[in-house]
Structure 1
Amino acid sequence: MPSPLGASPLAQRDFRLLFGGSSISAIGDQFTLVALPWLVLKLTGSPAALGLVLATMALPRAAFMLIGGAVVDRLSPRRVLLAARGVNALLVSLLAALVLGGAIQMWLVYALALGIGLATAFAYPAGSAILPQLVPPTQLRAANALFMAMRQLSMLVGPALAGLLISTGAHGVHVGVADATGLGLAFAIDALSFVFSLVSLVLIRVHGDHHPRPRDGGVLANVGAGIRAVWADLPLRAFVLYAAVVSVFVGGPIQVGLPMLANTRLDLGATALGILMTANGGGMLVGSMLSGLAAKLVRNRLGLMVLGIDSVAGLVLAALAFDHSTLTGAALLATTGMLGGIAQVTIVSWIQQRVAPEMMGRTMSLLMFTFMGLGPLSAAVAGSLLKLISLPTLFAGAGLALTAIALSCMVSPALRSIGTPLRVPDAA
């Protein structure tokens, strides 16, 4: 993979293909993320049904994430990603056809949501594992920053376009579904966006496709080998455990608390929630751009940088307990987004440089599981806690917990040593 030191990842043909196809697909995904909840509410009018549909997508995604990582390592990130996105394209196309044809029913929505969740369980680890095969290690941080920036831009642009399309495409009622034409077109645009991603993946050439690793043992044995390999790497093990603790004590409460904050305490209602999420996404975009400068300043002390960022972010989140203004809340979330963007790009790049290619899918799937598996459980607990404690108490507790966890972990030699690239021993 010849490339001058410090050159842009965009100088690599295969990276350009992946980035271009993924960018179009990411914008298309936002159409489904807006249209699917709207469809459920139009069909049922029930927030409980919406929660069940989202759970139907999230639970199988979390349950099969580790298996997805093992399959990626047994086959090829490109091949698994191609298959997973192909399945997603078929399911979203079917959803668009059912809505436009007036044949959509809730049992079909549940079935399609289940299929989409299963497909993404394989797509997520494959997407993270393919990047180190396309660019040199020196360009991984810049490549991850570009992808994070692209995702945040899609979250800024996509929902607005989707909302406009759904509202302008509203033409009467089809089998109890208002706005059916706009909803169907939104799903159709997402399905079309998958075509660009699939074509780019077909054109990409990856060394691992032609030199596959021997498949030792079954898939479950490979999952166990991946967990053992992460456990044997002390700094990596420490970070995964740290991420799991943060997800339990902080991720769930914030996921539940922000909608409640917008609904009960802010001045713009549902619009306030959109502003808060947009501010957070904008902050992450800025953070991804600053990650290179931050990595140069701290050099090999990435662990201390992440812990320092989290200790500050916890105090900012705790300040939401006193928030009664949409503008103030947006400023606070933009700050946490910027801090999170810096930390996420640098730590993911470190992991991709540290882990051997044949273990990449399993390692990334384990890291994702700590958020996507534990996060929904934590959110359910946080929702129940709000029956016993106030919303300000929830925010203050979550934010101060993050600060306390980060500060206490600064004495950990394993977490402090994060930053030095090292390949883990080969494992079956």
Structure 2
Amino acid sequence: MDNRSMENDTTPAPLFANRDFRLLFGGSSVSALGDQFTLVALPWLVLRLTGSPAALGLVLAAMALPRAIFMLIGGAMVDRLSARRILLLARGANALLVALLAGLVLTGAIAMPAIYVIALGIGLATAFAYPAGSALLPQLVAPAQLAPANAFFMGMRQLSLFVGPALAGLVIGTHAGHGAAEARGLGLAFVIDAASFLASLASLWLIRTPADGQSRAMGRGVLADVAAGVRQVWADLPLRAFMLYAAVVTAFVGGPMQVGLPVLANSRMDLGAASLGILMTANGGGMLVGGFLSRRVARAVGNRLGMLVLCMDTLAGLALATLALVHSTVYGALLLAGVGVLAGIAQIAIVTWIQQRVPPAMMGRTMSLLMFTFMGIGPVSAALAGSLLKLVSLGALFAGAGLILSAIALGCLANPALRGIGTARPDGAPA
């Protein structure tokens, strides 16, 4: 019997009285902060080596390709096996890859072919890490605690987005220049991320879940399990509508933002890597504020969560389009902070709604589909956006992406399935 079933009929203890939750939260917090160093350093490394937005797009696509191909398989494996064990293996692989990248940069042996290979490996490991991490939390806490647990985790991630890029920009910026000095700054950023993975692995090693001692029926193949998960999501009309909406938005908007922000900092702003760190920090800070506001806003809108998301995306699109006119780090940071607030408000409510709506046996596959819409499609879109920058200006890229987001969100206001996101499950549906 797991912790959740034992607590169904009693008032759950405070979240941080749960040892396994503390371990997961602590290790994930350190790892999330470390990730920001690579998210700032890797684009900067590629641009310094090549000066090409198209090359940056290809690196992001190299991570996206195995992630897109294997993420759904990763979700199926999570539902078959232990989410904790799969997460241990995936984060261990990421630690080795980032440490290898750090070593190549610090020794001056780094070259683009090595970056492409490492990016492929990181993408493959991430394909298993994301669904495993998303499925592990519901195994550790009672159902009534999912909303506050998600709030803590998303708040922690946004805090890492707020603090991490600024620290990364500081580490890289203090070694600004060319040659060995800049390599030391970039290499140190990757070393910090690799060390953060080790802290996460230590915490995961100490966690115990009921699934660790269970073996599940393996009668069907993995691809059959994936197909069953897709059918489950497709049969749930509001959930299907949200997944399709998120996929379309990511395809048209996610990629241009991933490529556009590093290019904006590199080509228009006077602080270089520090400007990129400030922009990302402002967005993370906005999401942190939005996360604190989320539960209050969600209670105010009740069952109209879909309407809330669409209205906020309309406003976010207009703010992103305005980046076409920005040449100042301060103005760019203000715009991205506003976008972050809008995104942060919606995220906690959406993820909690999905976790409470989906049967536990389907959690890994459902979360892998959700992650696929954001993290599998986005970098492919980034590769296309990097190539598009050869034909259009940076301002046109931002204006087009932002206005497309607003147009998609406004058009979807007429869709009753999207407007119905947030309503209770129909009678007889699995809980």
In the superposition, the TM-score normalised over structure 1's length comes to 0.86
* Greater Cα offset, 73-82 or 257-266: 257-266
Contact 1:96 1:184 in 2 (8 A): yes
Asked if the contact 1:355–1:422 (Cα under 8 Å) also holds between the matched residues in 2, the reply is no
- The within-5 A match list for 1:73-88 is 73-88=79-94
Give the match for residue 28 of structure 2. Answer: 22
| Partner residue, 1:150 | 156
Name the CA distance, whole Å, in 2 between partners of 1:268 and 1:402.
29
Please report how far the alpha carbon of residue 95 of structure 1 lies from its aligned counterpart in structure 2 after TM superposition: 3.8
Which runs of structure 2 are paired with 1:132-171 in the superposition (5 Å)?
132-165=138-171
Structure 1 Cα separation of the partners of residues 219 and 258 of structure 2: 40
Pairing 1:287-298 to 2, within 5 Å after superposition: 287-298=290-301
SS in 2 for 1:213: coil
Preserved CA contact (<8 Å) 2:76 2:226: yes
Tell me if 1:377 matches 2:383: no
Instruction: Select which of 212, 219, 236 maps to 1:216.
Output: 219
Partner of 1:225: 228
* TM-score normalized by the length of structure 2: 0.86
Partner of 1:240 in structure 2? 243
State whether residues 353 and 421 of structure 1, in contact with CA within 8 Å, keep that contact through their aligned partners in structure 2: no
What CA distance in whole angstroms lies between the structure 2 residues aligned with 1:252 and 1:413? 28
- 2:210 corresponds to which residue? 207
Q: Is the 8 A contact 1:56 1:110 kept in 2?
A: yes
Partner of 1:33: 39
Alpha-carbon distance change, 213 to 342 in structure 1, aligned in 2, over 3 angstroms: farther
* RMSD (CA atoms): 3.2
| 1:31 to 1:391, Cα distance in 2 relative to 1, 3 A | closer
Structure 2 contact 173–273 (Cα < 8 Å) conserved: no
Counterpart CA distance in 2 for 1:45 and 1:386 is: 13
Change in Cα spacing, 1:246 to 1:7, as seen in structure 2 (3 Å) is farther
- SS in structure 2 at match of 1:120: helix
Residue 9 of structure 1: how far off its partner (Å): 2.9
Pairing 1:125–2:125 present: no
Change (3 A) 1:256 1:104: closer
Which aligned pairs between 1:17-416 and structure 2 lie closer than 5 A? 17-37=23-43, 50-99=56-105, 106-165=112-171, 179-262=182-265, 271-386=274-389, 389-416=392-419
Q: Tell me, in whole angstroms, the C-alpha distance in 1 between the residues paired with 2:186 and 2:331.
A: 33
Cα 1:399–1:168 change in 2 (3 A) is closer
Q: Deviations over 1:384-408 (max 9, x none)?
A: 5455555444434333332232233
Note the residue ranges of structure 1 that are not aligned, 5 or more in a row: none
Do 1:320 and 1:392's aligned partners in 2 also have CA atoms closer than 8 Å? yes
Q: 1:413 to 1:51 in 2, by over 3 A?
A: closer
Q: Would the aligned equivalents of 2:174 and 2:185 in 1 still touch at CA under 8 Å? A: yes
Aligned-partner Cα distance in 2 for 1:270–1:191: 20
Shift of 1:288: 0.9
User: How high is the sequence identity, in percent, across the aligned residues?
Assistant: 70
Using the TM superposition, name which of 211-220 and 238-247 deviates more.
Answer: 211-220
SS in 2 for 1:238: helix
| CA spacing shift, 1:402–1:191, aligned 2, 3 Å | closer
Q: 1:329 to 1:93 in 2, by over 3 A?
A: closer
Tell me the secondary structure at the aligned position of residue 64 of structure 1. helix
Q: Which has the higher contact order (CA 8 A, sep 6+)?
A: 2
Q: Which runs of 5+ in 2 are unaligned?
A: none
Contact in 1 for aligned 2:166/2:281 (Cα 8 Å): no
Letter in 2 for 1:140: L
Q: Does the CA-based 8 Å contact 1:42-1:178 persist in structure 2?
A: no
1:374 positional shift: 2.4
1:120: Cα distance to partner?
Answer: 1.0
The Cα of 1:29 is off from its aligned counterpart by 2.3
Q: Which AA in structure 1 matches 2:39?
A: L
| Residues 16-25 or 320-329, more deviating | 320-329
